[in-house]
Amino acid sequence: MPHFYCLPAECSCQNDSAPFCQVGEVKTELPVSSSACTCAQFICKKAEVCLFQGVTVLSPGQSMVQYVEGDLCFTVQCLQEKDPASGFFAMEVSSVNCSEKCGPHQIYVPSKDPHVCCGSCKNVSCSYLNENGTVEIYLAGSSWVANCTRYDCVETAVGAVVLGSAVVCPPFNDSECLQNGGVVQNYIDGCCRTCKEDGKTCKRVAIRTTIRKDDCRSNSPVMVYSCDGKCPSATIFNFNINSHARFCKCCRESGLESRTVQLFCTRNSTAVDYTFQEPMDCSCQWN
C-alpha cells in the first residue's frame, strides 16, 4: 500500500511590510501568530515622550527654551503624565517678558545660551540711590558727590558702572583764616573748607608802576611788590588801669630782598642802576 507524505507549506515574508513611523513614534513588533508562517509583523506606537510642534521630541522632565518675537521667551516643559487627546505625554508652555526685568537705565541683551531663557540687563547709564530713598539716573561720563564721596559713571565693556572715591580736601587752618580777617566757607557739598577773603586781607601784592628818582626814570612800568590789606585790632578793658587797652596789628613785610632796576636819566642821558627792597612775604604783625 503506497504511503503519501505532505510537504511543508512554503512561506514568503515581505521585508518591506514594516511600517514607516513618524516623529515621536516607535516601531513595535506584534506577537507571533499560531499560523504556519511566522513572519514578524510591526506597528507604529507613540513613544512615551512629548512631541512639540510635530518636530521636537522631549523626554518626561525635559524642558526646552524657544525665543519668539524679540524679548518674549517661551519655555516648554515635558510633564510626567499622558495627554489623552494626543496620546503623547502632556506639555506645559510658559512665557516671560525678559525685558521687563531691566531698569530704566538698562537695555536687554538676549541670552546666547539656548538652554537659558532670559538674557541679561546691560547698564547704559548709572542709577544712584539717595538717602531719602529716591533714585537718580546719571549718564556715562558724569560725576556727583554724596556724603563726601565722589562718584563717576564710567562706561566699560560690560556696561556703565559706578566708581566711588573719597573726596580729598587741601590742608586748611581755621585760625589763620579768621586771624587774617577771612570767612570760613564750605564747598564740595560741605566736605571741604576754604577761606573767603574780602580782598583786604594782608598779603603781598604787585603793582605796575614807573619808578622815578630825581630826573631818572624807568623806560617802562615795573612790577613792584608791597604789603597791603587789613589786620585785626581790638580793645580790651584793663581793670588795673581802669581803661581799655588797645591792640593793633599792621600789615608788614616778613623778610626783605634787594632788587635792582635800570633807570634812564634825562639830564646827562645816562643809565644808572637803582636798588631798592621788596617784601618777600607779608603778614599781620604787632606794632
Q: What is the pLDDT of residues 188-224, one digit of tens each?
A: 888 888 887 666 778 899 999 999 998 999 999 999 9
User: What pLDDT, on the 0 to 100 scale, is given for residue 237?
Assistant: 78
- Which residue type sits at 67? Y
- pTM score, whole prediction: 0.41
Cβ(275)–Cβ(211) below 8 Å: no
Report the chain (287 residues): mean pLDDT per 10 consecutive residues: 53 68 86 65 88 90 76 86 91 84 85 79 90 89 88 90 88 82 82 78 88 92 91 78 80 93 92 94 85
User: What pLDDT, on the 0 to 100 scale, is given for residue 108?
Assistant: 85
* Separation CA 58–CA 89 (nearest Å): 9
DSSP class of 8: P
Measuring CA to CA, which residue among 21, 17, 11, 23 is closest to residue 50? Answer: 23
Q: So what's the architecture of 203-286 in CATH?
A: Ribbon (2.10)
Measuring CA to CA, which residue among 35, 47, 44 is closest to residue 9? Answer: 35
3-class DSSP state of 100: helix
The helix/strand count (H/E) of the chain reads as 1, 25
Q: What angle do CA 39, 44, 46 make, to 5 degrees?
A: 150
* Separation CA 245–CA 28 (nearest Å): 122
* Separation CA 282–CA 229 (nearest Å): 9
Residue 189, sorted as left (phi over 0), alpha (psi -120 to 50) or beta, turns out to be left
Instruction: Give the residue extent of every domain in the chain.
Output: 15-98, 100-166, 169-198, 203-286
